[in-house]
Amino acid sequence: MSRSLYAVIMAGGSGTRFWPASRTARPKQFLPIVGGSGGGGSPMIRQTWERLDGLVPPERILVVTAADQAGLVRDCLPDLPEENLLAEPMARNTAPCVALAAFEVRRRDPDSIQVVLPADHLIRPAEAFRRSVRAAAAEAGASGALLTFGIRPTHPATGYGYIQSGEVLAEHDGERVLRVKRFVEKPERRLAEEFLASGDFLWNAGIFVWSTRAILDAVAEHAPDLYAGLERVEAGAELARTYAGFEKQPVDVAILERAASVRTIAIDYAWSDVGSWAALAELTEAGAQDNRAVLPGGARLVAEDATGCLVFAEGEQVVALVGVRDLVVVQAGNATLVCPRDRAQDVRRIVERLREEGPEFL
């Protein structure tokens, strides 16, 4: 008998690398930055929700977000049942997020399978993604393994974690399931080049499939303090006070790197975590003079002798460029960002400074 499939959308991130468009009041996952004409489409969390259409019904989709972002989730996902919105009292990375959702899913259906995915990824085509999830769910149900999706690398990226894959262990609907030999955190470039050349390393997409029993057994074994804390919450303890005591750890480090049975499905369709303005430029169609513009809400770009630039602006605004090359230009509210495209990752440095010098702009 097939088990019910639940989806857990992780939507509590702060998206600091997309400042100034992404701010505390509206982080990256709620922005219309990819997917539509001119680059701007529906909010990223909405696209993630729609990607699950035909795979998981709305009553079995849970969203975990920060307490102060709950209203944003409801605005973007009006079909989400109220009881399916889980609010974290504070950010503690993905291990507590995953465990909190797993406890709730177990309460509803202990024999279920889960797909756990970030709210702010771009994946195309959606049907290929759904096929991979179905295959991973079949494997999770058959073997009890924890599965993570791996992306075939296209360049020696140093900003992703890597998975070293091993032999083929199973196949479901044409999707091969590979053994995971090890995880490697973000490597230096020389090592990333070796990984790319070897052919057996994948980028870690941060998308997971597992049975509810398997992930909770793994949490109990490898993060016993986290498991015990959520047991206390289940028995009536205050969530906020308990959450404050949890260690900030990603689920990869806390659980998957320590678990005995971890497998991966390698996907070769379009995927991006849209991790920076430079990454967005690569996902946006080039227009006149090789400029790329994401202009939701009627904004305009006027470029004169300007090439290779990425421009983002919302609302009734005009961004004018004259005689410049390869810039990121973002106009959002009361802040403007201008930087070379190859320095887009350094936006986080501005965010760090503003925490001390101008928190009202974050």
CB contact at 8 A, 310 and 326: no
Amino acid at 144: G
Using the predicted structure, report yes or no on whether residue 36 has a pLDDT greater than 90.
no
Q: What's the confidence (pLDDT) of residue 33?
A: 87
Look over the chain and give the mean of its residue pLDDT values, rounded to a whole number. 94
- Between the CA of residue 33 and those of 8, 24, 300, 357, what are the distances in Å? 22, 17, 15, 28
Name the pLDDT band for 40 (thresholds 50, 70, 90).
low
The ranges of the chain annotated as CATH 3.90.550.10 are 5-272
This model's pTM is above 0.85:
yes
User: How far, rounded to the nearest angstrom, does the alpha carbon of residue 344 sit from its chain's CA centroid?
Assistant: 19
CA 261 – CA 214 distance, rounded (Å): 10
> Mean pLDDT, to the nearest integer, of 229-239?
97
User: Tokens representing 318?
Assistant: 């005009």
CA 340 – CA 208 distance, rounded (Å): 35
**Peptide bond connecting 89 to the previous residue in cis, omega within 30 degrees of 0:** no
Name the 3-class secondary structure at 37: coil
Q: What's the confidence (pLDDT) of residue 38?
A: 46
266 - beta bridge partners? 150
> Mean pLDDT, to the nearest integer, of 229-251?
97
Cα dihedral value 51, 133, 256, 139, nearest 10: 170
175-194 residue pLDDT tens: 999 999 999 988 999 999 99
Give the DSSP letter string of 309-325.
-EEEE-SS-EEEEES-B
User: Tokens representing 277?
Assistant: 């303005």
Pairwise pLDDT comparison (114 vs 317), residue with the higher score: 114
The residues, any chain, with a CB within 8 Å of residue 235's CB and separated by 6 or more, are none
Candidate from 87-91, 257-261, 293-297 with smallest mean pLDDT:
293-297
* CATH code that applies to domain 5-272: 3.90.550.10
